[in-house]
Amino acid sequence: MVATEEVNASLEKNAIFDRVSIFMRLFLQPIGIWPLHTVNYTSKTRFCLSVVCLTAVALVAGPHIYYVFFVMADTHLRIRHLPPISFYSINTVKYVVFIMISEKFSAFVRLFARDWRSLVNEPRQLSIMLSYTSKAKYLIVASIILLYGNAVPFIILLPPMTKLVDEATNVTYRTLCYPGHYFDLIDPKQSQLTYSILYVVQTYFGFSLVTCTLGFLSVFVTFGLHVSARCNITSLLIQELVDDYSRARLKFIVGQHSQSLKYQTPISSEYFEY
């Protein structure tokens, strides 16, 4: 009977953490930077996903940047390509930084998980924390709608529907959202198969960028509101302390607040250090 109760308590603790970390796992697992491993998400799986993402960056970003700055003659078109270049360059830097701080990020997420699991026996604090988690989810869902709503037309629909004519060869061809220069090794204008392969790679690359952005957003929003909720709890405890002062309670409040501040510093300090 006791063992059953312990198992149920453990499942309840894990369920709470799974509930609040769902968006972080949803976006960070597919790109290989979610630090907690499971049966279906092992260290090998994580490594392979990271390699695939970085390979897509090399296949798309490199040729695209070279094409825009060294091949493209139209200045107006070059300027139009600067926003996507900036977008994926910034996200690539963020991605590499998260890989470099993966061990510290893992320790930070485990600390975050322990804090949530400790709230099972504190229903009032748990209620406050969950209310802030709901706010985080609303922000993330709104971001999902905005980012994927813009990404789907640009990455999937626009390239196949847009056709241009090569003035040199008078060949009609479909465009890519990230046109690149492949030094005559690959020519999507001449082969439907080549175009299809590049289209699939660029679609994966584009959605990985959006997923990466949403993953970083979910991390900072979730942890930021986690700190806010902890500060709110500390404020309530201080108000109660005024009515019923005791040195032991004051020590508990100070210790809990010091623990809360740990969720503010690890990611921000390590992230901006690079």
Please tell me the distance from the alpha carbon of residue 109 to that of residue 102, in angstroms, as a whole number: 10
Domain ranges of the chain: 1-262
Sign of the alpha-carbon dihedral angle for 229, 231, 234, 238: negative
pLDDT of residue 7: 40
Query: pTM for this structure?
Result: 0.83
Residues linked to residue 171 through DSSP beta bridges, in sequence order: 166
Q: What is the dihedral of CA 175, 181, 54, 270, to 10 degrees?
A: -100
Please tell me the distance from the alpha carbon of residue 24 to that of residue 15, in angstroms, as a whole number: 15
Q: The tokens 């040195």 sit on which residue?
A: 247
DSSP state, 229? H
What residue type is assigned to position 129 of the chain?
M
| Secondary structure E strands in the chain | 163-166, 171-174
Count of other CB atoms within 10 angstroms of residue 23:
22
pLDDT of residue 142: 94
Please tell me the distance from the alpha carbon of residue 169 to that of residue 172, in angstroms, as a whole number: 9
Please tell me the distance from the alpha carbon of residue 126 to that of residue 140, in angstroms, as a whole number: 21
Nearby residues of 63 by Cβ (< 8 Å), 6 or more positions away: 180, 181, 182
User: Half-sphere exposure (CA, 13 Å, Cβ side) for 274?
Assistant: 14
User: Half-sphere exposure (CA, 13 Å, Cβ side) for 205?
Assistant: 27
Give mean pLDDT in consecutive 10-residue pieces for the chain, a chain of 274 residues: 45 72 93 89 93 93 93 89 92 91 86 82 85 91 92 82 67 80 77 86 92 92 86 82 76 73 54 45
pLDDT of residue 272: 43
Please tell me the distance from the alpha carbon of residue 61 to that of residue 209, in angstroms, as a whole number: 11
